[in-house]
Amino acid sequence: MLSPWLVLPLLTIGLAAVLPVLFFRRKSSTLRMAWLMSVFPATAFGLLLWLSSQVSPGKPVTIQLEWLPSLNLSLSLYLDNLSALFALMVTGIGTLVVIYTGYYFRKDTSAWQFLAYLLLFMTSMLGLVMAGDIITLFIFWEGTSITSFLLIGYKYKTEDARQSAFKALFITGGGGIALLAGLIWIASIAGGTDYATILASGNALRGSPYYPIILGLVALGALTKSAQTPAHFWLPAAMAAPTPASAFLHSATMVKAGIYLLARLNPSLGYTELWFYLLTGVGIITMLVGAYLGFKQNDLKALLAYSTICQLGVMVAMIGQDIEIAYKALVISVLAHSLYKSALFMTAGIVDHETGTRDLRRLGGLARLMPKTSAVALVAGLSMAGLPPLFGFLAKETLLATSLHPSLPPIIGALFPWAAVAAGALLLAQSGLFVYDVFFGKPSDLQHPAKGHEPPAGMWLMPAIPAVLSLAIGLLPEPERLASFLAGAAGDAFGSPVKVSLALWTGLSAPLALSIVAIFSGCILFIFRHRLRPAMQTLLPAIQLNAVYNAVLQGIDRGAELVTRLQRGQLRFYLAIMLTSLGILIVLFQAIPLRYLNDLLPSTPVAPGRLDLLRIFTLGLAVLSSLITVFLRRDLYAILALSISGLAVALWIALEPAPDVALVQIIVDMLATVILVLSLTRLPRPQREKARELTFRQSRPGLLRDGLIAVGSGLLVATLVYVSLSTRPHTSLVSPFYAANAKPLTGAKDIVGAILVDFRSFDTLFEIMVFAAAGLGIHMLLHYAARKAGDQEEPDPRPLAPDEHPALGVGGLPTSSLLHLLAYSLLPLAMLLAVIEMMYGHDQPGDGFTAGIVISLAVGFWYVIFGYHFTKKQLPWLRSGYLIAVGILIGLINGLLSTLFGTGFLSPVDYGSMLNLPLPSGFNLSNSFLFEVAICLTVLGSATYILDNLGRPKEADPESDALLRTIEEETIPQSGRRSA
């Protein structure tokens, strides 16, 4: 069923992620902000409840946006019972965590940043579980990796947080790359990227000879995300994140992403022996590793982290089965784990927040000081231990029932039940450590006991809600709607209907007997914990996976060091390698077949026409001026010769004729000449002399080598281009379309203009963003680098009268009144020309790009004649950063308006005709004109950034000084600053 309402939950939380950045950057009450932000995930939770009520078996709620129809690619959302289960957990527990965050950071007025990260994380996870195709899923999959990196590294000033965040990103990101390859393979075999196509292609996927590779790639991505052994070690390290992030990450997000993906793809990739043994084996091993390592921990959050690893192993093992009861156990385990683990993590955060420690050895007897928190911990801990009448007991019972199923192979059937009993016993002992030792026992470290007090009611109520739900589901009569909903989720993962009952008591049975054994064994472990835990520190030591991880990073660093030995900082050396490699590749892959070499010269001479003679002249001029740049010793003369070569190329283009491209080539050549000349002022003379010596004082073998490389590369490229042009099809499919549709569809007489701002407007939008990034990049590289190097040039303290002009321009060159008059006349003329180009660029050569460059060149002339400070004083509107921002903003708003009034983003819309405006002949107030204005402003801002910073990169400004002070404070030790 199609429903546009499906977008609202995602948009609601996405909007909430933006609000802290927009409105709460100033000091404000974190608690008030958190309560306000919690309204958004709560609203999304309500919307999802309503939408999930419209889901029926085999009829999910969907919405689809075509992306690349020719490739059958789309972006879509998809809600069935399985995705609704995870989406409701994300938004429901997310609401509680957001409120809890307000209390946790109530004294930190800068916590708006953490809230923004948390809501972005929630948006990514919600998009992941609601994705209706693998492209959308992967986009949000990577979003969870990036946002979890921000959350784990939130306390970035500590080394532990930075290292842990990178470890999580490195491992889950590496798995994400493998997952992408597997998903692309799946789409190529299934013939589509949407779930409906993929889920219906199970036989084709399982029957493919590439099935083992596909399964390995997908499993690698999912298992690293869900912290399965041996990739589990990133999850305990992620405890460097603040507790609200840990509670959310462990209970409803991040680690559940891999579980969801495997469950979603089970109908397509499951039901094979390879699927069964891979997931069952990895799941059982992870279950035992997490349970064993968790019992050894002294840190509360580490203990809970390893118990999460244990439960994730259980879920993966359940997905590996091909029996109905396993998927009943899966959905019950997913929900039960989310409820009690969110409650326990938030309780651990309360203990840490109110006592200042998470060390079990210092904690004890807190029930007298924190009775309400201890009650919450008791209920949640009993559910984790798998004791009746808590919901966790039902999760353990269904796990044991699955492990005893008669259809399991003999080896698994013999090992699985006792592995489940061992894990259950260890989890019960861990629950005892968390509940009894912290709240009712005595601290083992009597010299440094922790003391605390009850938190505010709102803080302990947040973990109390999921804890009470765990108790209510077990005590109250079986909720039929919940059972039916979980049955639907299990059926979506299993691929056929599954019956789910939430009754705790089903009579005496083998699973109940094993449960009693697990409870009894767990009690024994807990009673003798003071003897067992110290012995376990040396008994069966865990594989030093962190050492393996560090060794991998060191290997990458050494490989990078070997590669960077080629980085000598010499352009000549880099060009020699690239050109030589190009020649070798062309020869190896026979890019120029030998049969074409005989056709390089025409068989019969052709008499050149008049234009051909002019083309030959311009070509010779371009070649000769390029050759002259090699022999000229003065850099300025070489730049001028290079400029002549560019102008010759522009003339050649104009003769084709391609006036639009020729105009762009001319103005870009002029701007490049100005930039290169200004760059000479930034290069120290010794460095320029050293480069000159490298060029003109080489040995004869060196000159011969460079000459051969240059001549050979030129001939090779020329031959390659000639062969490519002469052998390609001469009938174009695209050009006739543009020629036939430019005027009817866009109203443009100029085809090039129509292509740039109409047919390929999205490309142009990104191109101006790239141009803006280039200007900002030069600003960062030159301006801040010069300031950091100690270069500082204060402005001229002598004020100028309004009518007084500087006598000296750039470089102390004298200027005259004639040049002043020329500068004053040139700028308005350039602006007038730019406006005309933007107004009539749809019908004549010219566009926003050339308009921006023309104004920039006029501003550059002002800079040369009047100097930097006078120009800035007389042209206060010349603020590069604001010009870039306004230009890009106009471009985006113009695209949105086109979406509202046209047929799509940046589609043609004639606002003048729509509003019946009296406009000059030939001018249309359309979205194309607005886009040209956006391009002009962005290019003008970027070009003036380049000109300003090449001319005066040393000028002081408060932003640079503040940045430098921050860098010094973070990098220079305190003792070093005192000694300095």
pLDDT digits (tens, 9 = 90+) for 91-112: 999 999 999 999 999 888 778 8
Tokens of 349: 């955060």
- In this prediction, residue 257 has a pLDDT band, given cuts at 50, 70 and 90, of very high
Task: Note the maximum CA span of the chain.
Answer: 106
pLDDT, tens digit (0-9, with 9 covering 90-100), for 890-910: 998 988 888 888 777 888 888
- Compute the distance between CA of residue 902 and CA of residue 263 in angstroms, rounded to an integer: 41
pLDDT, tens digit (0-9, with 9 covering 90-100), for 134-193: 999 999 999 999 999 999 999 888 888 999 999 999 999 999 999 999 999 999 999 889
Name residue 74's beta-bridge partners. 66
Residue 413 has pLDDT above 50, yes or no: yes
What pTM did the predictor assign?
0.75
pLDDT, tens digit (0-9, with 9 covering 90-100), for 350-360: 999 888 888 88
Question: Rounded mean pLDDT of 407-425?
Answer: 91
E strands along 14-140, which residues?
61-68, 73-79
- Give the DSSP per-residue string, 627-695: HHHHH--SHHHHHHHHHHHHHHHHHHHHTTT-HHHHHHHHHHHHHHHHHHHHHHHHS-HHHHHHHHHHH
Residue 664 has pLDDT above 90, yes or no: no
- Compute the distance between CA of residue 228 and CA of residue 306 in angstroms, rounded to an integer: 11
Q: Return the pLDDT at 974.
A: 42
Residue 977 has pLDDT above 60, yes or no: no
Tokens of 707: 């000459």
Q: Which carries the bigger pLDDT value, residue 460 or residue 964?
A: 460
Residues 6+ positions from 350 with CB-CB distance below 8 Å: 370, 373, 455, 459, 460, 463
Q: Return the pLDDT at 147.
A: 93
Question: Rounded mean pLDDT of 223-248?
Answer: 90
Beta strands at 73-79 and 61-68: parallel, antiparallel or unpaired: antiparallel
Q: Return the pLDDT at 802.
A: 43
Asked if residue 132 lies in contact with residue 194, where contact means CB atoms within 8 angstroms, the answer is yes
R_g over Cα of the chain: 35
Q: Return the pLDDT at 801.
A: 42
Q: Return the pLDDT at 428.
A: 94
Mean pLDDT comparison of 23-32, 76-85, 817-826, highest-scoring range: 76-85
Q: Return the pLDDT at 799.
A: 41
The rounded percent of the chain whose pLDDT value lies above 90 is 40
- Give the DSSP per-residue string, 406-437: TTS-HHHHHHHHHHHHHHHHHHHHHHHIIIII
Asked if residue 793 lies in contact with residue 955, where contact means CB atoms within 8 angstroms, the answer is yes
Q: Return the pLDDT at 26.
A: 59
Q: Return the pLDDT at 445.
A: 64
- In this prediction, residue 81 has a pLDDT band, given cuts at 50, 70 and 90, of very high
Residue 784 has pLDDT above 80, yes or no: no
* Count of CA atoms in the C-beta half-sphere (13 A) of 819: 16
Average the pLDDT over each of 159-163, 385-389, 607-611 and give the range with the smallest value: 607-611
Of 974, 711, 933, nearest in space to 838 by CA: 933
Residue 796 has pLDDT above 60, yes or no: no
Residues 6+ positions from 247 with CB-CB distance below 8 Å: 93, 97, 100, 341, 342, 345, 346, 349
Asked if residue 6 lies in contact with residue 77, where contact means CB atoms within 8 angstroms, the answer is yes
- Compute the distance between CA of residue 980 and CA of residue 976 in angstroms, rounded to an integer: 6
The rounded percent of the chain whose pLDDT value lies above 70 is 89
* Average model confidence (pLDDT) across the chain: 85
Q: Return the pLDDT at 58.
A: 79
Q: Return the pLDDT at 532.
A: 87
Question: Rounded mean pLDDT of 872-879?
Answer: 86
Average the pLDDT over each of 425-439, 825-839, 867-881 and give the range with the smallest value: 867-881
Question: Rounded mean pLDDT of 661-674?
Answer: 87
Average the pLDDT over each of 42-56, 260-274, 815-829 and give the range with the smallest value: 815-829
- In this prediction, residue 616 has a pLDDT band, given cuts at 50, 70 and 90, of confident
Mean pLDDT comparison of 242-256, 373-387, 843-857, highest-scoring range: 373-387
- In this prediction, residue 972 has a pLDDT band, given cuts at 50, 70 and 90, of very low
Distances (CA, A) of 206 to 84, 265, 274, 317: 27, 12, 10, 20
Residue 942 has pLDDT above 80, yes or no: yes
Of 376, 384, 216, 407, nearest in space to 314 by CA: 384
Q: Return the pLDDT at 644.
A: 92
- In this prediction, residue 961 has a pLDDT band, given cuts at 50, 70 and 90, of low
Q: Return the pLDDT at 539.
A: 61
Q: Return the pLDDT at 50.
A: 93
Q: Return the pLDDT at 533.
A: 86
- In this prediction, residue 973 has a pLDDT band, given cuts at 50, 70 and 90, of very low
Question: Length of the chain in residues, anyone?
Answer: 980
